[in-house]
Structure 1
Amino acid sequence: MIRFDNRVALVTGAGAGLGRSYALLLAARGAKVVVNDLGTSVKGGERSSAAADAVVDEIRHAGGEAVANYDSVAEPDGAAGMIDMAVRDFGRLDILINNAGILRESPLAEMTLEDMRQVLDVHLMGTILCTQAALRVMLPQNYGRIVLTSSGSGLVGNLRQSVYGAAKAGMIGLMNCVRLDHAQSQVTINTVVPSAATRMSAGLLWETIERHMKPELIAPLVAWLCSEGCSRTGEIFNATGGHFARVALMKAEGVQFDPMEPVTPEMVADAAEQIVDMSRSEAYRGTMAALEPRLKALGRI
């Protein structure tokens, strides 16, 4: 049985929806939980302690241990403060789930600069700041589990969510580089791409399946990623309605021209069908990893 006894978790945006489900499940399995939430609407705005306090009360009523935190992930002092609270109140930090978010929808051409910055600050910079602060605790203890939250808006797109999608796509770059920086440590970092019926998804889900998309159905995957027995790192996982699957970036076999000979736009146009053909696709491992064997086949290296 997966347990989190003697582990300390911080869940951002844990006052409702997905974050609440994560906090409740981890606590039920023995974790001490810092429940972070500003208590604002999905668009941000006036703060309230009520949301975080309510989840803490639920956990304590069930016999678990939790404390509430009302800091903003988008503020450097707030991000550092919530990690400090975990260490001060519980002695360590083992798990960070970056879940906090807001949603301000608009076509890019019509979006205000203020709204752009708010979305980027909360989703992208908030995740970066919390992850940085957590790493400074996890690396010296040589143990940690970090989960980032991306979105289908960032991976495949969605209407009126260009800046939100850009921030969510940024999670993948952040994860990939942090994984490489700390590959020799026992700190893992993964990304979940959840879809569930929450305040943030109101009006966006198909009515025929919305009732099957409970936040509680995302939490088991996140809990597994946060467990001692899960050593996977640098991976993306889709989760919705009880369906879980790894997501990977793929590339076509493509075409290799001789780099020692001229290459023209017409050559590219003539080879377009081969360039886009995904029938023999493979996992994308970076530009140099793909180029080296092809240059060797040409006898150029």
Structure 2
Amino acid sequence: MSKRLDGKVALVTGGGNGVGKAVALSLAAQGASVVVNDLGTSEQAEGANRGAADVTVQEIVAAGGKAVPSYDSIATSEGVRNAVGIAEYEFGPVDIVVACAGALFPGDLTATDDTWHRFIDLFLAQKFFLARATVPGMAERGWGRFITVTSEGARGTLGNPIFAAAMGGVISLTKAIANDYQGHGVTANSFNPGAATRLYHATIASWEEKHAAGEITDEMWEAIKAGPGPASYVAPMVTWLATDAAAQTNGQVFSIGGGTVAKWSSFDVVKSIYRGDHRTTPEWTLDELDQVVPGGLLS
């Protein structure tokens, strides 16, 4: 019996743990040959350990699938080229990219320049480097799936301005790729995963401190403590986005966790105020805006 991704080549970053691992296992179960990329750092992006990628590869192979590891840092363009090169050498051109790699950094307005660059390189530049290395080839062959991880943080609700900037940038980058390559058999979508991964567990103490300080509500703290569910619940929807069935799903953002899949709204104009044509009416006065912005635009 054929599987939905037979003959496809997938590259999954962050594939040694959590959501990335669950996705790699799921893609392989549907017949994809998978390059499992993971530098093997700690939750704080420190050190390196080949064991993370190796364990995922071993599980895929033991289940009858095809997989090889990549230990490259995909926060660099060179690392991405190496990871893509491994895929091409072992299996052929990359058809599916799922960019899951991430870590925990302090990203408030006291962060150093170095922290800013590390954050942007890992969370945002990673996706650009991956797209540059794979999406044009997908378009030439007439089929491809580019899938990126974003976060609730993109909406600014978690604070951490650098993280918010990076995750919001991921959404815009992905939507632009979707727009540029529509009609070429390539789709690009993002997802916000809700899963009880090691990164989730590493943040619990900080959220408890925020709750104690009154920075988050009791309801939000209770939801955080309850946990979002296992990573395996995220993988099916991500895998579906990589199949032919999702050919018309493009430029979307989904929240996936537990038993829920939700689609985020697009960046649409939701309300306007009208002064009149600029050729026949004067510009707004501040006194006018005092009235119409709160009462008309923001109400």
Question: What TM-score do you get using the length of structure 2 for normalisation?
Answer: 0.87
Superposition deviation, residue 106 in structure 1: 4.2
Contact 2:147 2:188 in 1 (8 A): yes
**Counterpart position of 1:239:** 256
Say which SS state the counterpart of residue 193 (structure 1) adopts: strand
Q: Does 1:222 align with 2:238?
A: yes
Q: Does 1:169 align with 2:168?
A: yes
Ranges of 4+ aligned residues in structure 1 off by more than 6 Å: none
Letter in structure 2 aligned against 1:102: A
Superposition deviation, residue 208 in structure 1: 4.7
Letter in structure 1 aligned against 2:120: L
Say which SS state the counterpart of residue 140 (structure 2) adopts: helix
Structure 1 residues 13-60: Cα deviation after superposition (integer angstroms, max 9, x where no partner): 100000000001111111110000000012112111100000000001
Cα distance between partner residues in 2 of 1:184 and 1:269: 46
Aligned residues: 274
Cα distance between partner residues in 2 of 1:169 and 1:126: 14
Letter in structure 2 aligned against 1:117: H
Q: Does 1:78 align with 2:96?
A: no
**Counterpart position of 2:48:** 47
Cα distance between partner residues in 2 of 1:176 and 1:29: 26
Letter in structure 2 aligned against 1:59: I
**Counterpart position of 2:213:** none
Q: Does 1:255 align with 2:273?
A: yes
Letter in structure 2 aligned against 1:84: G
Say which SS state the counterpart of residue 250 (structure 2) adopts: coil
Superposition deviation, residue 105 in structure 1: 2.0
**Counterpart position of 1:147:** 147
Contact 1:252 1:276 in 2 (8 A): no
Contact 2:9 2:87 in 1 (8 A): yes
**Counterpart position of 2:184:** 185
Decide whether aligned partners of structure 1 residues 74 and 238 sit closer, same or farther in structure 2, where only a CA change above 3 A counts: same
Structure 1 residues 171-201: Cα deviation after superposition (integer angstroms, max 9, x where no partner): 1210122122212210100010112111111
Structure 1 residues 81-116: Cα deviation after superposition (integer angstroms, max 9, x where no partner): 1112111111221100011112112421x2122111
1:209 is aligned, of 226, 244, 248, to 226
Structure 1 residues 65-84: Cα deviation after superposition (integer angstroms, max 9, x where no partner): 10000011111111111112
Structure 1 residues 213-250: Cα deviation after superposition (integer angstroms, max 9, x where no partner): 11111111101111111021111111122211110134
Cα distance between partner residues in 1 of 2:200 and 2:106: 12
Q: Aligned Cα RMSD in Å? A: 1.6
Cα distance between partner residues in 2 of 1:20 and 1:54: 9
Cα distance between partner residues in 2 of 1:106 and 1:29: 38
Contact 2:107 2:116 in 1 (8 A): no
Cα distance between partner residues in 2 of 1:92 and 1:195: 30
**Counterpart position of 2:100:** 99
Superposition deviation, residue 164 in structure 1: 1.2
